[in-house]
């Protein structure tokens, strides 16, 4: 007969690892997206400083930066959705300690998205 505590321990460890990996993916996507937007911003600033038609270039830069930030926001939304859809079906079947961990992972993903939005608005 299988040892129930060992199976539960193995299951809990697997879910914990999955939750941690999902949080890492969410944070990683947010960081990569933000870095990509920063690189685009710097490239656009460099082009802007070399251009004579300043008003037209400013409008292009604003449009491009807005697109980049929208892309970052979309990446963050995808990360949040990934974390939530991955963990939600499991939460009802998990012990309370693991449920706390999954809740923490979702909170971290939301926090990353909020931080990205604050940086974008600044």
**Better-scored residue on pLDDT, 5 or 53:** 53
The structural domain count of the chain equals 1
Nearest Cα to Cα of residue 101 among 83, 113, 116, 115: 83
> Which range marks the domain in which residue 73 is found?
4-121
13-36: b (≥16 Cβ within 10 Å) or e: eebbebbeebbebbbebbeebbee
pLDDT per position as a tens digit, 14-48: 888 888 888 888 888 888 888 998 998 888 888 77
């Amino acid at each position: 007969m299988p040892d129930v505590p060992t199976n539960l321990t193995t299951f809990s460890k697997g879910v914990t690892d999955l939750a941690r990996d999902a949080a890492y993916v969410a944070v990683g996507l947010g960081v990569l997206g933000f870095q990509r937007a920063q690189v685009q911003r710097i490239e656009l600033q460099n082009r802007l400083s070399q251009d004579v038609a300043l008003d037209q270039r400013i409008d292009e830069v604003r449009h491009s930066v807005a697109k980049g930030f929208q892309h970052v926001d979309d990446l963050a939304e995808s990360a949040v959705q990934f974390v939530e859809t991955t963990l939600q079906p499991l939460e009802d079947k998990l012990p309370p300690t693991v449920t706390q961990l999954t809740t923490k992972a979702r909170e971290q993903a939301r926090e990353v998205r909020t931080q990205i939005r604050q940086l974008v608005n600044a």
